[in-house]
Amino acid sequence: MLKASPADQEKTKDLIVQYIEQNAEEIILAIQVIDAASFLDIADRWEGRGEVPFEIELWEFLVDMGLDVVLAANKMDRIAKVDVDGALDLICERLGMMPPWTQWTDKIAPLSAKRGQIQPLRSIIGKKLSGKKTGSDN
């Protein structure tokens, strides 16, 4: 939504909200992907203007809808190894979860899609879906 006009951004948000509200009972698992390398800088900029960042607004909405939500924290390869835990702790705080992030390994998947490092997300999805029945299982 970076290059979208404010009107198009609002229209997109409205369509997302409408879809989720209409289909919440059918949604087995929601996965929100963020750019972990830039998340905090973007959140700081938005909050500096007195606005709630879209990523935080979406997370809160999905949680408020009662959905099982997983955060796919992508681009972890762009965060210095010594800063990974600290960055994920700060992301947790911004999303209303108490750090340390390591207590949320069932909700937060640090990954690098570009490098094919997506096992944490695969693991979470596998665990969450193994205990749930879908409409096609009946």
What is the spatial distance between Cα 20 and Cα 65, in angstroms, rounded to a whole number?
A: 8
pLDDT tier at 138, thresholds 50, 70, 90: very low
Integer angstrom CA distances of residue 126 from 29, 43, 66, 72, 118: 11, 30, 20, 14, 12
What's the topology of domain 28-130? Answer: Rossmann fold (3.40.50)
Mean pLDDT of the 11-16 span: 92
The reported pTM is 0.88
Cis peptide before 6 (omega within 30 of 0): no
Instruction: Tell me which H or E stretch contains 48.
Output: helix 39-48
Would you state the pLDDT for residue 9? 87
Q: What is the pLDDT of residues 63-112, one digit of tens each?
A: 999 999 999 999 999 998 889 999 999 999 999 999 999 999 999 999 99
Mean pLDDT of the 29-52 span: 95
